[in-house]
Amino acid sequence: MSAETDFNVTDSEWEVMRVVWAHGQASSKEIIDVLGQKMDWKPATTKTFLGRLVNKGMLNTQADGRRYLYSANVGESEFVRHALDEFFGHVCNREVGKTIGSVLSKATLSHKDISLLQTILDEKKETAVEEVPCNCVPGQCHCNVHSGGSCSC
Amino acid sequence: MSAETDFNVTDSEWEVMRVVWAHGQASSKEIIDVLGQKMDWKPATTKTFLGRLVNKGMLNTQADGRRYLYSANVGESEFVRHALDEFFGHVCNREVGKTIGSVLSKATLSHKDISLLQTILDEKKETAVEEVPCNCVPGQCHCNVHSGGSCSC
DNA sequence: ACTCTTAGTTTACGTTTGTAAACGTTCGTT
DNA sequence: AACGAACGTTTACAAACGTAAACTAAGAGT
């Protein structure tokens, strides 16, 4: 029926995806064991999420005897990017800079991560704007409230 | 009863908060009007969310005659930081760098934002690690799957 | 063959969320 | 004093979620 992948994954299902992403391919038993330990879920609970994820097209099943081997149909990076777009869709554009800063602050990063970010940031310098416009309220602007400053929208 | 603020705000409620944050203080009529336009919600719908947010302690009410003036009890920055912590609680630590990069790439930033991020990034250089450990599966490590590289966990 | 185990599928059920009508109360107006 | 508009509060109700037991089918071992 549904050939389309449904990215609408709930928090619990997300936990299941993480295990699959980390394993690459795994049997339900492996997944159940990990989540039984990490999330304290009963086997039946994990089974439910596994089934729902297969329905959503987030997981692929490959028959292995009478059981399945599960694997992700969507990469973690792709999925996270998707979820993030939705997240930032809720955040006022004016807050995005600060927000990224706050994530950055508390993140554990590798040297490679840092150079990547450095590169991106350098590129960003060229398209930097004077004042980011508020997008919380359509039509009218109330930015003056935000940073306590004058707004040019 | 509940003296505690419940940060567990749903997507729809978040939209309401944005309007309040942008306005600083607003009557239900103003909020209803904005969301009726932006979200195409019936007045009753916005009323419901307003009520729920007051219950959660996210909104304060200040009597103004027989009606209320609503204002946020939690700042947008604080709230977003909170929501982000939860978000990143679902993301494998190894993905965080790339993830921040992807947000950064498509964000509209001001010059000020950029210098802020630059500063933070510079500081980060000092605590950069060789390889970020995976936290998707407890006890055992399957990082090799992630970046296709060898893992030292 | 027969039973135990294992793994996927169905069913269940209370809570949360999205969406909104209905209700009750209180001013402003006639 | 009566009436209608405005606003907060209650009630409603289907869909989504979290959590899990029950059921079913198919090998594994005896």
* Alpha carbon distance B70, A120 (integer Å): 40
Protein-proximal nucleotides of chain C (any atom < 7 Å from a CB): 6-12, 16-22, 26-28
Nearest CA-CA distance, residue A142 and chain B, Å: 6
* Alpha carbon distance B147, B93 (integer Å): 12
Which residues in B lie closer than 8 A to residue A138 (C-beta atoms)? 34, 37-38
Query: Which residues sit opposite B67 in a β-bridge?
Result: B64
Cβ contact, residue pair A97, B109, below 8 Å: yes
Nucleotide nearest to A66 (CA to C1'): D26
Q: Which of A75, A57, A11, A35 is nearest to B98 (CA)?
A: A75
> In angstroms, how far is D21 C1' from A7 CA?
28
Q: Is the CB of A44 under 7 A from strand D?
A: yes
Query: Confidence band (pLDDT; 50, 70, 90) for A133?
Result: confident
B65 pLDDT above the threshold of 90: no
Under DSSP, the state recorded for B65 is T
Find the angle CA(B152)-CA(B85)-CA(B129) to the nearest 5 degrees.
Answer: 25
Inter-chain CB pairs, A–B, below 8 Å: 219
* Alpha carbon distance B15, B17 (integer Å): 5
Cβ contact, residue pair B97, A114, below 8 Å: yes
Cβ count within 10 A of residue B113: 23
Mean pLDDT of A95-122: 95
Residue range B101-133, pLDDT digits in tens: 999 999 999 999 999 999 999 999 999 999 888
Query: Confidence band (pLDDT; 50, 70, 90) for A2?
Result: very low
Mean pLDDT of A110-131: 95
Cβ contact, residue pair A137, B95, below 8 Å: no
Cβ contact, residue pair B113, A98, below 8 Å: yes
Nearest CA-CA distance, residue B48 and chain A, Å: 19
Q: Is the CB of A148 under 7 A from strand D?
A: no
